Structure 1
Amino acid sequence: MDAQGQSQGQPWDTEAADRAVAVLKAVADPSRYRLLWALSGQELPVSALAELLGAHVAATSQHLAKLRAAGLVVPRREGTRIYYRAADVRGLLDEAALVARAAAGAAVPGAPAEPAAAAAQEQTVTARGTRARAVRRRPATEH
């Protein structure tokens, strides 16, 4: 990047950078990242999302409000229930996992390349959105 904020011939766009930073800040919280991950595959009500997080509905609603303000989730009301779905965020989540894996590999020379999401405990939600179960993946071993 040069002194005028240009990279590879493209001018610096302050507004676009501010929007990108707002998105990254919204995703920077582990609970919000987990919410986005769960919502990237299905639409779920707030109660199921709260159960997934192991948090109160009010706290989950606050996280969802921040994600909605960043344009990352879309609500839908059905009677008294509110359902959420993720905007097109799968690429963002995949890129974050790739960067985390690269950073982990750079931090520990010779460490196996395991995605951060696979090394950590993952949560899945049933199709009805009523139960959450933990799934652990074991790292591959070299023989």
Structure 2
Amino acid sequence: MDTQGQPWDAAAADRAVAVLKAVADPSRYRLLWALSGQELPVSALAELLGAHVAATSQHLAKLRAAGLVVSRREGTRIYYRAADVRGLLDEAALVARASAAEETGTAAEAAAPEQTVAAPTTRARAVRRRPATGH
């Protein structure tokens, strides 16, 4: 996309920022990954996140407000599917991979991205322990 010759569009920028904010939460990002390939009910999405249905519904409401997911009701179940977000997710993964490669000094890997991008995985946060002092 060539943005050099285009005039600044404040409204479009505000919409883009709203989309990026909606995706900025790890749970919402994972929801979009899951929904980019299939339609799923809230209960299955909550299980995928390891979260309560109510919390998952709140995340989905933010994604829906940003226009990133659509829903349909079938009886008492609500099913969600992603709008056309695969390009957004792929670009975010590409930028993240390039950033990680720069940090580790493997820029050649970032320059040649894979054809497909694997779904994100949750990482356990490493706990640093202070060295024991001899008291």
- TM-score bin (small chain): 0.7 to 0.9
**Structure-to-structure mapping, 1:31-46, within 5 angstroms:** 31-46=27-42
The aligned counterpart of 1:90 is 86
Q: In the TM superposition, what is the alpha-carbon distance from 1:8 to its structure 2 partner?
A: 1.9
Identify if the C-alpha distance between structure 1 residues 8 and 111 changes in structure 2 by more than 3 Å, giving closer, same or farther: closer
User: Any unmatched runs of 5+ in structure 1?
Assistant: 1-6, 123-143
**Number of equivalent positions:** 115
Structure 1 range deviating more: 102-111 or 75-84: 102-111
User: Of the candidates 103, 106, 110, which is equivalent to residue 106 of structure 2?
Assistant: 110
Q: In the TM superposition, what is the alpha-carbon distance from 1:121 to its structure 2 partner?
A: 2.4
- Is residue 2:21 matched to residue 1:21? no
For the residue of structure 2 that corresponds to 1:16, the secondary structure is helix
For the residue of structure 1 that corresponds to 2:81, the secondary structure is strand
Identify if the C-alpha distance between structure 1 residues 112 and 54 changes in structure 2 by more than 3 Å, giving closer, same or farther: farther
> Which deviations, in whole Å up to 9, do the C-alpha atoms of 1:2-43 show, x marking residues without a partner?
xxxxx5221001000000000000000000000000000000
The structure whose Rg is larger is: 2
> Which deviations, in whole Å up to 9, do the C-alpha atoms of 1:74-104 show, x marking residues without a partner?
0000001000000000000000000001111
The aligned counterpart of 1:121 is 121
- Is residue 2:95 matched to residue 1:69? no
For the residue of structure 1 that corresponds to 2:106, the secondary structure is coil
Distance of 1:119 and 1:42 partners within structure 2: 13
Distance of 1:120 and 1:30 partners within structure 2: 9
TM-score computed with the length of structure 2 as normaliser: 0.78
User: Kindly, what percent of the aligned residue pairs are identical?
Assistant: 84
Q: In the TM superposition, what is the alpha-carbon distance from 1:119 to its structure 2 partner?
A: 9.4
User: Any unmatched runs of 5+ in structure 2?
Assistant: 123-135
User: Of the candidates 74, 81, 86, which is equivalent to residue 78 of structure 1?
Assistant: 74
Q: Per residue, is there more strand in 1 or in 2? A: 1
Q: Per residue, is there more helix in 1 or in 2? A: 2
2:32–2:82: 8 Å Cα contact kept in structure 1? Answer: yes
